[in-house]
Every structure is written in C-alpha cells, then in structure tokens.
Amino acid sequence: MLSEYSIRRSVEFVETDMAGIMHFSNFFRWMESCETAFYRSLDLPQISFVPGQIVGWPRVNVSCDYRAPLRFGDTAEVRLLVMEVRTRALVLGFQFRRCDAQGVPQGPVVAQGEMTAVCVTGGPDGVMRAQPIPEAFRAKVAAAPASAWAE
C-alpha cells in the first residue's frame, strides 16, 4: 500500500506574477497534479464515469501555508502524504521544496498544504452523495506514519 508520492515541476512564466514569483493559486494546481499522478501510479481513477453514476473526489477543505516564494525557473518537488483514510474521505498533505540543479530537494519546506476530499457517487437526480471509499481503493492506499510529515 502506498502512503507517499512525489513529482517535480519547474515554475513556468505563466504561473508567476509580474515579480516572477509563483502565484499562490498555482500551489493548489500543483497539489492536484501530484494527486492525479498518485492515483495514476496506483491505477486508480480520480473520477470515473459509469452509466448512471459518477464517482469522484470533490474537495471539502483545502489550505496552504506559504513560507518562501518559488520563482520563475525554479524546480520544486511536490511531496504528497496520505494523512488519513476515513470512511468516506481522504486527507492528503503536501510539502513543496526547492530542488537543486540535479533535481534533488534541498532546504526547508517553502509551502505546505492540505486537502480533504470526499468519495461521492452521482445519483440519477444529479446530486452527489458521499459513499464509503471502495475496498479496491483502500487496498492500495494507507496513511503515512506521523513521522513521515517531519520537515
């Protein structure tokens, strides 16, 4: 079972403000990119369309604390940690670290985020309803030990 995953990305010009600093909203986009790659690595759908049903993971809570800027051209690691697997929800933590020229994360965490997503099914009336996380999903995902979150 997997409890941790990471990706590396470079800050693109389009992701920055006029000072060349990555706009705060892009940290959330990077969290979602890492989450999607995590699900793909486990061969799990992030959203599945089944006739008469839609299963997905809408967000019910997101946050991000910013400690230092990422700038145009910086490469950073986005590290995902499964913090909790609840009956109907998944809590994911994210840490951002700047990488050196070889792509190795260096130095302190520059931002730290959290996302809570609820497993839902879409009913025939179009209303989303929370559902227990499927066993096929639970069999592949586990909460990371608290010590993994250490900076």
Name the residues annotated as catalytic: 17
| Farthest CA pair distance, the chain | 52
Which residue, among 77, 78, 79, 91, has the nearest Cα to 141 in the 3D structure?
91
CA distances (Å), 23 to each of 65, 95, 130, in order?
A: 13, 16, 32
Residues near 68 by beta carbon (within 8 Å), at least 6 away in sequence: 98, 108, 110, 111
CA distance 39 to 20: 31
CA distance 138 to 51: 23
